[in-house]
Chain A
Amino acid sequence: MEKRELYSPELLSALKKKNSISKAALCVFIGAAVLACVLMCNLQTTLSSRRYELITMAVSTVAGWVTIYWSLDVISARKKLISHAETLLSGERETVEGSCSILPGIVKIPGSVEIVKVKIGGRTLNLDRDRLRDFDCAGKTVRAESVHGYVVSWEVAE
């Protein structure tokens, strides 16, 4: 089995591109929501004002919720991932070899990505939770490379 890189310049640029698209989409969404609210303010008449008021409140509330979620959870999480990937791509690699097992539980590092602990050849390393799907090593003997204690690439040892 060939060596699998968990982080690559291509992945980093794809993440950056995705984040830019997300930011642009969020700006368009906020603009559309503000425009809709302003339009409703202008279209209302005495008879429809209460109805428009309620619709405006609903649109603004939901748009705000989407904005909060999108900016604080989606975009922010991706930003952390980008910074994490940049650090790992520029760091010095160490090789470790041995039997692999994934330890239970997820560790949330404040201001960074969520990780799972991985044991390879008696050494405990960190693995970005989002990369877990690319790391089906359980029960195998693997040769892995790590940067700052994080697994960045792996292959099944011969």
Chain B
Amino acid sequence: MRFLRNVLSRLWLYLVWLVASVMIWGQVYSVITDTTPDKKISVYVDSPSVMSTEFSAELEKTMPEGLKFIKVRPFTYAMFYDETFFKADIYIVPESEIEALADAFTGDGIEVKGGALGYFETDGEAYYLFFGKDSQHLSDGKAAEVGERILNMR
């Protein structure tokens, strides 16, 4: 009874700590699970449903030297206002969206087939892999290496 009364008298403090704890660790994890663009490959997938964690983990199994992460991110329209979206290394987009996003790409798209299609929903549409025109990893070949892995996944 006394325990309950003590807890209830400071309920606000317990709630503040709950919110603080969630925010602090959310921030900590977003920092430790991300890095600067030169140490990661960003892959944007324009699909209604993407198994981004599993896809990232699969690609990270053989990571090009010098990289810390391969971040697969699902596409959202809010990203049009985010500069980092246009600096991504690899885009996987459906045929119908190629024109709308063409400004972000360099070179021709390569159709994605095989195991990679198992990590996102395609709705029966053909998906193409493009390299970002502002990617930092075009010159060092790391974007190409990861792109090749995606295209050759079983």
Binding site for B on A (CB under 8 A): 37, 41, 44-47, 49-50, 52-53, 56-57, 60-61, 64-65, 68-69, 72-73
Contacts and interface: CB of A to CB of B under 8 A. Distances in A.
A150 B22 CA distance: 46
8 contacts: A41-B28, A45-B57, A47-B53, A50-B53, A53-B26, A56-B29, A69-B3, A72-B10
Interface in B77-127: none
A24 B148 CA distance: 57
Interface in B1-40: 3, 6-7, 10, 13-14, 17-18, 21-22, 24-26, 28-29, 32-33
B145 interface: no
Chain A's interface: helix, strand, loop or mixed, by majority? helix
B47 interface: no
A47 B14 CA distance: 31
A46 B144 CA distance: 21
Contacts of B18: 61, 65
A8 B88 CA distance: 73
B69 interface: yes
A81 B128 CA distance: 73
Contacts of A44: 29, 32-33
B136 interface: no
A70 B26 CA distance: 26
Interface residues of B, number: 23
Nearest to A55: B25
A68 B12 CA distance: 12
A53 B17 contact: no
Given A46-B53, A46-B69, A50-B53, A68 B25 contact: no
Contacts of A72: 10, 13
B10 A65 contact: no
B56 to A, nearest CB: 5
B7 A69 contact: yes
Given A53-B26, A69-B6, A73-B6, A46 B60 contact: yes
Closest 4 CB pairs of A and B: A47-B57, A53-B29, A64-B17, A61-B21
B33 A65 contact: no
Nearest to A54: B25
